[in-house]
Structure 1
Amino acid sequence: MPFPARRACALAAALALSAPLAHAAASLQPCRLAGVPTELQCGSLQRPLDPARPEGVKIDVHYVVVPALARNKQPDAVLMLAGGPGQSAISVASRVLPRLSRLNNRRDLVFIDQRGTGKSAPLDCADDSKLPLTEQLDEAARLRRLDACRATLEKLPYGQDGGLRFFTTTLAMQDMDAVRQALGVPQWNLIGASYGTRAALEYLRLFPAQVRRTVIDGVAPPDMALPASFSTDAQAALEALFQAHASTHPTLRADWQALLASLPRAVTVQQPLTGVPERFTVTRELLMSAVRMPLYQPALAAALPAALQAAARDGNFASLFGLTTAFGSSPALRLAMGMHFSVVCAEDLPRLPDAQDPPGADFRRSQAEMYTQVCKTWPRGAVAPEFYQVPPAPSPVLLLSGGADPATPPRHGERVAKALGAGHAERVQHIVVPEAGHGVMPVGCMRDLVFRFIDAKTDAAALPQDAACATRIPRPSAFQPITPATEGTAK
């Protein structure tokens, strides 16, 4: 969403009148971003690919600064840490800016493309979104594409000689602090979402004195073995969906079991983006991949009951695969899959054999098996044992969790809140919005709550925050397709 017109004018004036950032005036240049109607400031910082070899291969870390509107701005800028892993912070800036508009009045907003994403030594694989559905969701075909991508990335200047090992979260957070120093920012206010919460926790561990406040939304702790937790948490979200819509769809669970029992089966579905009819076989693994994505967003998940019943009763899979495509159709949300696997293979896979998360009854171990296969040949970086520990918070931390989140539900936020609050519980608050999905900040009044937390003049005034305005928001009602019968009732 673009800024309102008067805000756009004010931002343009602020760019012209405000003093340049300390130590960074020479490196910042006027620039524009798609979806943002005003001129911003862009810069880059050269960093060693391998910090142990400062004279070796260099990469450029790119960043964007949205200057504060007020002339008497606060010195502590807001740093947005993107999700994934693999999301470009700069690419999602236009989507995030409206949620941070109040903070931007007196604070600079900074978006840094983490190494491996966006323009910062990108580790991109080919875009799969317009491939035939059977190829998009077929794990064997995906493994072949990823192996080919790895081979291509290893030919890049920063991918040769095991270069893919140097894209871990720890090294990336060292880049973030180097940018802070270049910009002359005394302390960050960190805002991390999804994987960005892991990044924020690592930055907080490495540079505790350089953080004033921290917001982590959809907590993905460093000790979370992602491929194992995927199955456990997605299963819990699916079970909650069945229960929530039991009154409107009393046979949904039975329809689901019948659908599973009918597989594999041949179907014909139009590719949602191209409109081309495709005929392929729906396997159990393909079905579970299709179901998992809409669970991230309650508004999309509300259409799952009707989509699942259409597939089970009529063999119509169009709605189900349409929902799956809708979740990741925005180019801004695409992940740099090379960076994704460089992080997960180094940080999560070594913990997979000892993971305590039980596989979901329906989701089973397909995700874990896929990551295990990819990581067999993917170069792995070194991760210090301290990375997996969350020390007590040195400054106020606000944790946000969605009760309907299939990836980072409250159970992860609870243990991180306990670790952060050890000895100083008053520095930590964990807010659970029961019917929110993956990402709580966009819900209702949460953007104002985050503003109050960061803008509070003292740590004592920052917490606790009252979130009753969000915690009472109900789950979206199940979508009811329009049929001749329902159309007549509506009239």
Structure 2
Amino acid sequence: MTAQGDGPGCPPSVHTSGGSGTGRRRARTTTALVAAGLAFLGTAGMTPGGAAPPTVREAVSGPPGRFVPGPCPATPEPVPGRCGVLEVPESRTHRSGRTVRLAVAIIPAASAKPAEDPVVFMTGGPGGDAIGDIPFLIDAGVNRDRDLIVMAQRGTLHTRPNLACPEVDRFYADAVGLRYDAPSTGRLLVRATKQCRDRLTADGVDLRAYNTTENAADFAALRKALGIPRWNVYGYSYGTDLALTFLRRHPQGIRSVAIDSVVPPQIVSLPWTWDSAQEGIGAILDACAAQPRCKSRYPDLPLTLTEQVRRLEAQPLTLTVPPPGGGDPVKVVLDGGALVNLLVANAVPAVDVPAALDELAHGRPERFARARAAGATPVIGEFAHGLTQSVACAEWVPGYSRSDLLKAGRRAFPGWPDSVLAQAPQLPFEHEVCRAWNVPDRTAVQRVTTSSEVPALIVNGTFDAKTGAKWGPYAGRTLPRSTAVRVPGIGHWVVPQSPCAQSVLGSFLARPTSPDTSCVAGLEPKPFTITPESERT
């Protein structure tokens, strides 16, 4: 495994994009994200061949939830608002009488005269900690003119039950010292996943109920329980899959929808991950070629990358290096699969990727090795791997075979070893994991296009290798009142990293049908790191 969400994204927050705001929290989650590599998740725009008949066709509506005021969750940065929990049925389809409790935080608007319609946030993963994202949302000004409502999605941190998998977290910590895509590594991951599943089901958790349909119904229940006539929806990574599902199934009361780092529900699957990886990594290499100094210093980076993936897959490196945040050195194995997933997870900042690849080609693998070492120190229990697998195994994996995944990888990166291409970026061994997780196929009710006249803002970063930038406009084809922007030089989860994107979002919330996007036109990727020629040896 590499050193692993937000997508899809998404974990310990499966998202490790760079940027000043997100970097503070991501420093402690990169490990799990790079080690596990889950963040956003998805699959390319292909039609499943020979898909098994879907086994789930239910319609979920159900009774409204009940909001109970209470103390805010204990977090490193105190929640600056009022809180409580939303109580809803665990399953609106398989009525068992069990209830789930979801933490809710309401952060007041910074403006003295806020608008009446608040913003509700949907985080990534699936399995990410929405409450932990509040500081980034505030830093990005999401609550500048409106109250901000943040709810922990079912099964995640600050909910009951919590579908955390310490067994899987410990596997990812150990996996930095193993070959990423070796069958023996996959068997260890499957064993850890099954241990988590057995524990959760023994506790009475109905894993079938932790899906995007129920998740969307929770947010509909929240709006009713809080008595909100209209609100605005903002989601990123898996949260865009959720937001588009919410818009399709519960359109009442939605004034506008903003989706950031887009995962179209009708397209997300394992093969799609290779398409997104090719677009995001390719954009970084192309941007270097467009900067004269970078092009001169690092010529033909695509060839360099292919050579290093092939070399490391044939002869993996074993190193002992300190984690990025300091601490005792740890053993890491750097093979072709690990290298690729470090790039997809943005574990090495995009501005440093050309230099890191050049250093690797000249016998200096330290940048990538340190990034992989970050996975050795995960925050146990922070990320809800149980929600990740219940969503991925029911909604993303069915309908595409291992052969489909390998073919998608070969199309995206011809010449790379099949052992690398056989594993979906950020979701290795997922077919085997899903066999152990054993939840029903839900693609018939979830792999559906959202069509809506509700105004929408679609934001993607050109350097996003988890949810490729072209998938935003793709989702917008059936959102006729949408505005799509691509922000150059930004990876996964754009708004916290880009002042321009923050300005666009604020303008959109004020005027959903005519946002000011003028700042995007003048943006270019930052200059890449240029190391002296003398450091090559």
- TM-score after normalising by structure 2: 0.74
Letter in 2 for 1:182: A
Give yes or no for contact 1:192–1:216 (8 Å, CA) kept in 2: yes
Q: Secondary structure at the match of 1:63?
A: strand
Contact 2:262 2:471 in 1 (8 A): yes
- Aligned residue for 2:500? 445
> Take 1:470 and 1:281, find their aligned partners in 2: how far apart are those partners?
40
Match of residue 212 from structure 2: 169
The amino acid of 2:318's aligned partner reads V
| 2:399 corresponding residue in structure 1 | 351
How much has 1:267 moved relative to structure 2? 2.9
Which residue number in structure 1 is paired with residue 421 of structure 2?
364
> SS of the counterpart of 1:155?
helix
Distance 1:174 1:344 in 2: 18
Q: CA deviation at 1:294?
A: 1.9
Change (3 A) 1:35 1:65: same
- The one-letter amino acid paired with 2:128 is Q
Task: Specify which of 329, 347, 350 is matched with residue 301 of structure 1.
Answer: 350
Q: Which has the larger displacement, 27-36 or 358-367?
A: 27-36
Q: 8 Å contact 1:400–1:430 — kept in the other structure? A: yes
In 1, the alpha carbon distance for the partners of 2:116 and 2:66 equals 15
Tell me if structure 1 keeps the 8 A contact 2:164–2:382.
no
- Kindly name which structure, 1 or 2, has the bigger radius of gyration based on alpha carbons: 1
Note the aligned Cα RMSD (angstroms).
Answer: 3.4
Tell me which of 475, 478, 486 is aligned to 1:419: 478
Q: Indicate how the Cα distance of structure 1 residues 194 and 71 shifts in structure 2: closer, same or farther if over 3 A, else same.
A: same
Which residue number in structure 1 is paired with residue 287 of structure 2? Answer: 244
Structure 1 residue 64, shift from structure 2 partner: 1.0
1:230 corresponding residue in structure 2:
273
Equivalent of residue 390 in structure 2, options 328, 337, 342? 342
After TM superposition, the structure 1 stretch with the greater mean CA deviation from structure 2, 46-55 or 33-42, is 33-42
Q: Distance in 2 between matches of 1:408 and 1:336?
A: 20
Q: CA deviation at 1:279?
A: 5.0
SS at match of 2:319: strand
How far did residue 308 of structure 1 move? 1.7
Show structure 1 runs of 5+ residues with no match. Answer: 3-22, 422-426, 457-461, 487-491
Per the alignment, residue 307 of structure 2 pairs with 258
Q: Secondary structure at the match of 2:490?
A: coil
Cα distance in structure 2, aligned partners of 1:333 and 1:99:
27
Q: Does 1:400 align with 2:462?
A: no
Find the residue that maps to 1:410 and give its secondary structure. coil
How many angstroms does 1:332 deviate by? 11
What corresponds to 1:155 in structure 2? 199
Judged with a 3 Å threshold, the aligned counterparts in structure 2 of structure 1 residues 279 and 84 are, in CA distance, closer, same or farther, namely closer
The code of the aligned residue for 2:122 comes to L
Contact 2:67 2:85 survives alignment (8 Å): no
Q: Is the 8 A contact 1:192 1:215 kept in 2?
A: yes
Contact 1:34 1:94 in 2 (8 A): no
1:441 Cα deviation after fit: 1.4
Show the counterpart of 2:488.
434
Deviation at 1:235, TM superposition (A): 2.2
TM-aligned CA deviation for residue 189 of structure 1? 0.6
Q: How far apart, in 2, do the equivalents of 1:455 and 1:276 lie?
A: 50
Whole-Å separation in 2 of the counterparts to 1:99 and 1:383 = 35
Q: How do residues 261-272 of structure 1 correspond to structure 2 at under 5 angstroms?
A: 261-262=310-311, 263-272=314-323
CA shift, 1:277, in A, is 4.1
Deviation per CA, 1:54-99: give whole Å up to 9, x if none.
4522221221111335676443221100011111211111222121
Number of the residue aligned with 1:13: none
For residues 107-152 of structure 1, what are the alpha-carbon distances to aligned partners after superposition, in whole Å with 9 as ceiling and x for unaligned?
A: 3211111011112222112235754622494664365245324333
What's the CA shift string for 1:139-171, capped at 9, x where partnerless?
A: 64365245324333433368637x111110000
Contact 1:87 1:333 in 2 (8 A): no
Tell whether 2:132 aligns with 1:100.
no
Contact 1:444-1:470 within 8 A present in 2 as well: no
SS at match of 2:429: helix
Alignment of 1:86-235 (within 5 A): 86-101=127-142, 103-105=143-145, 107-120=146-159, 121-126=161-166, 127-128=169-170, 130-131=173-174, 133-135=176-178, 137=180, 140-141=184-185, 143-156=187-200, 160=204, 163-235=206-278
Rounded Cα–Cα distance in structure 2 between residues aligned with 1:471 and 1:332: 42
**1:342-372 Cα distance to aligned partner (Å, 9 max, x none):** 1011001113249698322235231276111
Uncovered stretches (5+) of structure 2, i.e. residues with no partner: 1-19, 22-63, 290-294
In structure 2, how many angstroms separate the alpha carbons of the residues matched to 1:26 and 1:194?
27
Per-residue CA distance 1:147-201 (angstroms, 9 max, x = gap): 324333433368637x111110000111111121111111221000011001000
Secondary structure of the corresponding residue to residue 454 of structure 1: helix
Identical aligned residues as a percent: 24
Match of 1:9 in 2: none
Inter-CA distance 182–366: structure 2 relative to 1 (3 Å threshold):
same
Note if 1:385 corresponds to 2:444: yes
Q: Secondary structure at the match of 2:437?
A: coil
- The C-alpha deviation readout for 1:185-224, integer Å capped at 9, x for no partner, is 1122100001100100011011112211100011101122
Mark the CA change 1:61 to 1:389 in structure 2 (over 3 Å): closer, same or farther: same
- Worse-superposed segment, 430-439 or 69-78: 69-78
User: Against the structure 1 CA distance between its residues 239 and 348, is the aligned structure 2 distance closer, same or farther, given a 3 Å change threshold?
Assistant: same
Normalising to structure 1: TM-score of the pair?
A: 0.81
Alpha-carbon separation, structure 2, partners of 1:328 and 1:470: 38
1:219-256, Cα deviation, whole Å (9 max, x unpaired): 10112233211112212332333333241311534433
Aligned length in residues: 449
Secondary structure of residue in 1 paired with 2:153: coil
Compare 186-195 and 235-244 and name the one that shifted more. 235-244
Tell me whether 389-398 or 239-248 shows the greater mean CA deviation.
239-248
Give the Å deviation of 1:381. 4.1
